[in-house]
A and B are shown apart, each in its own frame.
Chain A
Amino acid sequence: GAVVSQHPSWVICKSGTSVKIECRSLDFQATTMFWYRQFPKQSLMLMATSNEGSKATYEQGVEKDKFLINHASLTLSTLTVTSAHPEDSSFYICSAKTGTIYEQYFGPGTRLTVT
């Protein structure tokens, strides 16, 4: 149980275009979803937290107009990187939790390369 999927697993896009990454909880209802960014050989940095049906809460320094997060249902959250630039190239990982339980379940990640 507690499986989280991400799509796509990797994507290459041109500078200036937008790309959407999906995060789905497959066997539970995700009341809260998180988006992380991870650069090579570095730790996970929380970008934003979203609760189903509410606006996402962004961490300090994360541009909310650039990284659009939508948590429209209890099983789906999307991250859209708008007007992507090479410096946005990174590994994006989502996680999900339900209710008040502590555990977060992580997706397999999406490798974004902006050329």
Chain B
Amino acid sequence: QQQVKQSPQSLIVQKGGISIINCAYENTAFDYFPWYQQFPGKGPALLIAIRPDVSEKKEGRFTISFNKSAKQFSLHIMDSQPGDSATYFCAARPNNDMRFGAGTRLTVKP
């Protein structure tokens, strides 16, 4: 079922640093690319999303970069904070449902 490949599996960043998580996909029918943040024991929460007709979208400290020709997209978290420590999932929408990446466990050290 995994149609979206996500890396790295885990990431440790110092407070104030930039966290970068990458995803790649194969299916050109995907038309919506969200990122979710999940804390332990909680459901995923939508962080930011992008459509393929846009190459970059920024919301606060979170930026998605999208490369349609390479079929890759990435999440950048600027000025990472300990409160950002969570698991991040990229996803892609082929039709009505959502396909998730394997997840990246981010730890931001104070």
Interface residues of A (CB under 8 A from B): 4, 6, 32, 34, 41-46, 49, 59, 91, 93, 95, 97, 102-109, 111
Interface hub of B41, B43, B93, B98 (most chain A Cβ within 10 A) = B43
> Given known contacts A43-B89, A44-B89, is B44 in contact with A49 (CB within 8 Å)?
no
The interface residues of chain A lying within 8 Å CB-to-CB of B93 are 102
Distance between Cα atoms of A91 and B41 in the complex (Å)? 8
New A-B pairs, 11, CB < 8 Å, besides A41-B105, A45-B100, A59-B1: A4-B43, A42-B102, A42-B103, A43-B100, A45-B1, A93-B43, A102-B32, A104-B46, A105-B46, A106-B45, A108-B42
User: Size range of the interface on B?
Assistant: 20 to 34
Q: CB-nearest residue of chain A relative to B36?
A: A106
Q: How far is the CB of B38 from chain A (nearest CB, A)?
A: 9
Is there a chain A Cβ closer than 8 Å to B97's Cβ?
Answer: yes
The interface residues of chain A lying within 8 Å CB-to-CB of B102 are 42-43
Taking a contact as CB atoms under 8 Å apart, the answer to whether A43 and B98 are in contact is no
Taking a contact as CB atoms under 8 Å apart, the answer to whether B44 and A93 are in contact is yes
The interface residues of chain A lying within 8 Å CB-to-CB of B105 are 41
Q: How far is the CB of A1 from chain B (nearest CB, A)?
A: 12
* Among B41, B42, B49, B101, contact of A102 (Cβ-Cβ < 8 Å): B49
Q: CB-nearest residue of chain B relative to A51?
A: B96
The interface residues of chain A lying within 8 Å CB-to-CB of B45 are 106
Taking a contact as CB atoms under 8 Å apart, the answer to whether B98 and A34 are in contact is yes
Q: How far is the CB of B62 from chain A (nearest CB, A)?
A: 16
Is there a chain A Cβ closer than 8 Å to B2's Cβ?
Answer: yes
The interface residues of chain B lying within 8 Å CB-to-CB of A106 are 36, 43-46
Q: CB-nearest residue of chain B relative to A103?
A: B46
* Among B44, B46, B49, contact of A44 (Cβ-Cβ < 8 Å): B44
Within residues 31 to 56 of chain B, which ones have a CB less than 8 A from any CB in chain A? 31-32, 34, 36, 41-46, 49
